[in-house]
Each structure stands twice: as structure tokens, then as C-alpha cells.
Amino acid sequence: MHLAFDMFSGRPSPSWRVPSHLARRVFELVADSGLLSPHGLGPKLKHLGYRGAEIILPPELVIRYRVSPWLWLPPNPITDLLLFRELESIIRFVGFLGMDELLRILRLIIELLQKAGTPRTPPSPGGGGGSGRCPFETLPYDPGPWNDPAFKPTNNCYAYASNKRAHYPDKPQPGIASGAMFTSVTAADVSAATKRDGAHDAGDCFPDSEAPRLLVALVIWPGVDYHWYRKHPDFWGHKPGSTDARNIDNSGNVITNPQTCDRGPYTEFYGYMLMPRSQKVAA
Amino acid sequence: MTTPRRLWLCIVLIVSGIHLMPASGETLLPKASTAVVTLDVFSGRPNPTWALSEQRTAELLHRLQALEPTKVETPEFDGLGYRAVRVELQQPGNGAAVVTAARGLVTLDRADERVRYTDAGRQFELWLVNTGSDQLPPDLLRYVTGEIASKPR
């Protein structure tokens, strides 16, 4: 496998020959991130900074998975940060000669993506028509019904985010209502299961008939658990597991930005999503 | 016998189905109760739970008995991450008792009664968490025990 990153202006693009024992894992990671779909294989960009990755697959993978030998992955604001973090962990775990330089470049790209931060910005309320901005509605903050002892134990963050309060037999989980729960606690898997239940990434708008379209944020305790926040008119609310619904973070501060608030071990910020009125939620 | 001790013995008798073994002295051991531990740590996913063996249940009761009653209350932590470890003791026909350990306090709830005990160094809490060491993912166990060790009160 040949792997190259298009990112420099004067110098040649850094590239590596990835050994076969690692190539299949890299390919599977790219496939799991949904980057083999047609919209993931876009044209090359010309701006400065990170512009995309090129992968030339070895014949055994081309034959086995029946894919094109040449893959071009343009910058993807939703998946890149997760993809490169996971790629970094895989390379650190597997290891090969020359991996130090690859890890250095990956960390540089991660830093560039974090600085760019554009996909993490929530759309403005009621604003439609702007690029990547969708209309959404906020409901008044009303924790009382959520903290009713008849509902509190099994109505978790997912129920709160989607505003689907019910007598669940257990905590509802993304994907159960649509027939397939997430299988690993990664942002890619949990967000995909949530989309199967009806949600979209912010920027992929819903029609007015789906109002209230709720703006929510997904965060991950990597490999362990997930958590959701929901936007209210002046701040964000959430419900950690079976505890009370509240609008403060782990430091006791009112949450004005779920990306920067104190989230304890939920260190990974996936981004913003929209949950429509028809969002299905089940335990 | 002090009032808290009387109350405790009463609860043990009701909840745990005690039988006395006079041959080896007055050894109090639970016979048929079930004890299920819940680690209150997750937000989205169901919390991890595991059952205590009869031997571990007996040890739990002995450890509980050794704690000093207190009237002190500390505010619960109910944010994101590890919050508490809880064990529900059940005896068919005799109701349930719930023991919660968090932040240096152990609380025993049964019916309308609540008794609090001081958990010096959070040793009772740590022991209870570690009864799940075979069931919990190592990273999670390390995180929870680390949280307890880093905040002894």
C-alpha cells in the first residue's frame, strides 16, 4: 500500500510504503469511516494546508474488496479528525520501520484539523441557506419531568437529547429503534447508529415538517461510553445516565459550549447533529 | 448495644436470612439473599453490574458492620464519570436494602430508613468496586480505582 498526504506547497508530498500487515487495517479503517462511498472520493483541492490523502491499494485488497486501486480522500470535516486519530493509534500499536515520520505528519494534520475547527461550529438558530447551516429549534429548559422518579432511572442522555421521555425498560441506545445498535463505542459507530434512527450531521438539513429539529452534540469516552447534550435557548442541557437533567458541567459551570465544557472522561468531541421530530428512540 | 447496632442487626436479620451457628460461636452469615452490585459510571450505556457470591456477601455485611455511623452528609457527585458504587441486597419476601458508597460515605437505605457510615480512606468503596475486577474491563477498573484513590474524601 502506498499512502501519501497532499499538504505541502514547495516540498513533495510525504508518502510511505505501508507494509502488508498494516495495509489491511488501514483499508478497513477507511472503509469503516464511510470514505469509500462516492461522495467520499472527491476532486483534488488546491488551497494551502492539508488537502487530502492518496492511497494506492495492493492487488490483494483490490481483488478481495473489489475496489479501485487508487483512492483519493479529500478533507472531510466530519470524519478526518477521528480517522487520523485512529490511524495514529493503529500505527503506534502495529509499528514498522519509518513509522516515526508518519506519526509526526499525522500529528501535524490532526493539529491543523483541530485549529481549523470548522465542522465543530454549530449552525446558527433559524439560519437556513448559509453553506452548511440548517434551521433548528430550541425548547425551553424544563428538567422537572426528566427528574420525576418514574422516569429518571432509564431516561438517559440519548432520551434527553432527542426529547423522547418514556417509560423505557432500560436506557435507550442509538440504533436499537432502527434494528441495529452500535457495535463499538467510537464516534463513527455511535453517530452512524444515531443516523439510522433518523438524525443527521449538522449541515444536512431537515424540512420544516420535521420541527422541532433539535441541535445536539455527541461526545465520546473512547471505547467506553458516549454522551449527548441538547441546545436550549440560552445554554445546553444534558442528563448523565440516571442522574438529574441539568445545565451545568462537571465543574458546576453553566454549559454555553459543549466542546469546551468540563466533560470528565468524555474527552472526544465528535460534533453537532440534528435530531428531527421523527427520531426513533428505543431501549 | 447502641441504637445503630440494634438497627443494623435488625436489617441484617430481615434482609439477609441469617442463621446462627452456635457451634462456632455467634457467626452471622447470610444464607439465601442475593446481592447485585452496580457501578454508577456511564451516561449513555447501561451501567456495569455483577452479582456477589455468598461468601462475598457475607464479607460485605461484616465490612459494613465494622463502619462507624455518622450524621455527616456530603453532597453527591452526579456529573459525568464515576459517581458511586451501589449494592442491592434482596431477600424474597423480605424486601430490599441498598448500600451506596461514594466520597467517603456509605449509606444504607431500607424502606423509609437511612443510616450513614464513615468510610475512612474509601476502603469499603474500593473493596466493593474490586469485587467486579473479573467482570469490568481493565481500563474502566483502573479509571474508577484511580478516581477513588485520587480523592480519599
pLDDT above 70 coverage of chain A, percent: 86
Helix (H) or strand (E) holding B76: none
Of residues A226, A243, A265, nearest to B44 (C-beta)? A226
Tell me how many domains chain B contains.
1
Q: Which residues pair with B35 in a beta bridge?
A: B89
Residues of B in contact with A157 (CB under 8 A): 43-44
Mean pLDDT, rounded, for B26-32? 38
**pLDDT higher at B44 or A114:** B44
The answer to whether A102 touches A89, Cβ cutoff 8 Å, is no
Mean pLDDT, rounded, for A98-115? 78
B46·A171 Cβ contact <8 A: yes
A240·B78 Cβ contact <8 A: yes
Helix (H, G, I), strand (E, B) or coil at B147: helix
Distance between CA A68 and CA A48 in Å, rounded?
A: 27
Interface test with B, best of A154, A158, A171 (most B CBs within 10 A): A171
pLDDT in tens, A182-199: 999 999 999 999 999 999
Query: Where does the pLDDT of residue B90 fall: very low under 50, low under 70, confident under 90, or very high at 90 and above?
Result: confident
Q: Which residues contact B39 (CB under 8 A, 6 or more apart)?
A: B47, B48, B49, B82, B85, B129, B132, B136, B144
Calculate ∠ Cα B45-B48-B52, nearest 5°. Answer: 160
Query: Where does the pLDDT of residue A37 fall: very low under 50, low under 70, confident under 90, or very high at 90 and above?
Result: low
Q: Which of A79-83, A91-95, A122-126 has the lowest mean pLDDT?
A: A122-126
Q: Which pLDDT belongs to residue B17?
A: 46
B residues 82-121 lying closer than 8 A (beta carbon) to A: 83
Residues of B in contact with A250 (CB under 8 A): 79-81
Q: Which pLDDT belongs to residue A78?
A: 59
Q: Which pLDDT belongs to residue A44?
A: 55
Residue A237 has pLDDT above 90, yes or no: yes
Which CATH number covers residue B132?
3.30.1490
Mean pLDDT, rounded, for B105-112? 90
Assess whether the previous peptide bond of A123 is cis (omega < 30° from 0): no
Query: Where does the pLDDT of residue A81 fall: very low under 50, low under 70, confident under 90, or very high at 90 and above?
Result: confident
Q: Which pLDDT belongs to residue A115?
A: 60
Mean pLDDT, rounded, for A257-278? 95
Query: Where does the pLDDT of residue A234 fall: very low under 50, low under 70, confident under 90, or very high at 90 and above?
Result: very high
The answer to whether A240 touches A248, Cβ cutoff 8 Å, is no
Residue A195: name the closest of A82, A127, A125, A278 by CA: A278
Q: Is the ipTM of this complex over 0.90?
A: no
Please measure the distance between the N-terminal and C-terminal CA atoms of chain A and give it in whole angstroms: 42
Residue A50 has pLDDT above 70, yes or no: yes
Q: Which pLDDT belongs to residue A282?
A: 97
B residues 27-56 lying closer than 8 A (beta carbon) to A: 40-47
Of residues A174, A227, A242, nearest to B80 (C-beta)? A227
User: Cell 472522561 maps to which residue?
Assistant: A265
pLDDT in tens, B33-79: 789 999 999 999 999 999 999 999 999 999 999 999 999 887 889 99
Size of interface A-B (CB pairs under 8 A): 62
The answer to whether A191 touches A273, Cβ cutoff 8 Å, is yes
Q: Which pLDDT belongs to residue B25?
A: 29
- B79 close to A (CB below 8 A): yes
Query: Where does the pLDDT of residue A119 fall: very low under 50, low under 70, confident under 90, or very high at 90 and above?
Result: very low
The per-residue b/e assignment along B67-98, b for 16 or more CB within 10 angstroms, e otherwise, is bebbeeeeeebebbbbbbbbbbbbbeebeebe
Interface test with B, best of A186, A189, A194, A221 (most B CBs within 10 A): A221
Distance of CA A184 to the CA centre of its chain: 13
**pLDDT higher at B4 or A186:** A186
Residue B8 has pLDDT above 60, yes or no: no
Residue B27 has pLDDT above 50, yes or no: no
Q: Which pLDDT belongs to residue A89?
A: 78
B45·A185 Cβ contact <8 A: yes
Q: Which of A56-65, A175-184, A270-279 has the lowest mean pLDDT?
A: A56-65
User: Cell 456477589 maps to which residue?
Assistant: B52
Range of the domain at B102: 3-72+80-150
A224·B78 Cβ contact <8 A: no
Q: Which residues pair with A275 in a beta bridge?
A: A214
Of residues A158, A263, A265, nearest to B44 (C-beta)? A158
DSSP secondary structure code for residue B77 in this structure = P
